[in-house]
Chains A and B, each alone.
Chain A
Amino acid sequence: DTEVTQTPKHLVMGMTNKKSLKCEQHMGHRAMYWYKQKAKKPPELMFVYSYEKLSINESVPSRFSPECPNSSLLNLHLHALQPEDSALYLCASSHPGGPEAFFGQGTRLTVV
């Protein structure tokens, strides 16, 4: 099983809403990532968890709050987002130190 599963696939939320994105993998990977991707641009790293601990935060605004409940799950909690936060949010996982990262299908987020 080389699959990373993300839910939901699409999400529309208002600027005052609170929502969560979910990611799950069963490959035994101990590093998990959140990326943000705008149209026709490469993915941009947001957060890295290694062994369930936050190891990298790429200066992401606090309206994005990551959580890693266990080695298989990764959440991204969203609150008070702005329209410019609309993007494809990608989850990935790898063995610690990589190098290969496996990506989920992404969540297409639209903030209205």
Chain B
Amino acid sequence: TQLLEQSPQFLSIQEGENLTVYCNSSSVFSSLQWYRQEPGEGPVLLVTVVTGGEVKKLKRLTFQFGDARKDSSLHITAAQPGDTGLYLCAGVKGSNYKLTFGKGTLLTVNP
């Protein structure tokens, strides 16, 4: 059973378009993180959301944590080729150390 469901799994868009990636679960998470990973490299932390209903902005990226802390979304405005990569959501339940990953969304932004 996949605790975190990400959608879409693959996304190919043109430069300048907007997109939204979703991360959903039936479980409550104490926090959710979003990472971006390029081929052959380690995941790079983009943001952590902790409070239900929280919205965080990072330049053209907007992250939202659902009110019930079961889901999150990542919205990218005016995508650029440099946004290309694997976007992973990951959650922590309670106070343990296990970071559970979604399957990821592979984004390709074409020039």
Contact residues of A with B, CB < 8 Å? Answer: 4, 6, 31, 33, 40-43, 45, 48, 50, 55-56, 88, 90, 92, 94, 96-106, 108
The prevalent SS among residues of A at the interface is strand
Contact residues of B with A, CB < 8 Å? Answer: 30-31, 33, 35, 40-45, 48, 50, 86, 88, 90, 92, 95-99, 101-104, 106
Across the interface, B45 reaches (CB within 8 A) one of A6, A40, A55, A101, namely A101
The number of inter-chain residue pairs (CB within 8 angstroms) is 67
Quick one: closest A residue to B2, CB to CB? A42
Report how far A4 CA is from B50 CA in the complex, Å.
24
Q: Known contacts A31-B97, A43-B101, A55-B97; is A100 also within 8 Å of B33 by CB?
A: yes
Q: Least Cβ distance of B32 to chain A in Å?
A: 8
B40, B42, B43, B45 interface centre (most CB from chain A within 10 Å) = B42
B40, B41, B95, B99 interface centre (most CB from chain A within 10 Å) = B99
**CB neighbours of B41 from chain A (8 A):** 105-106
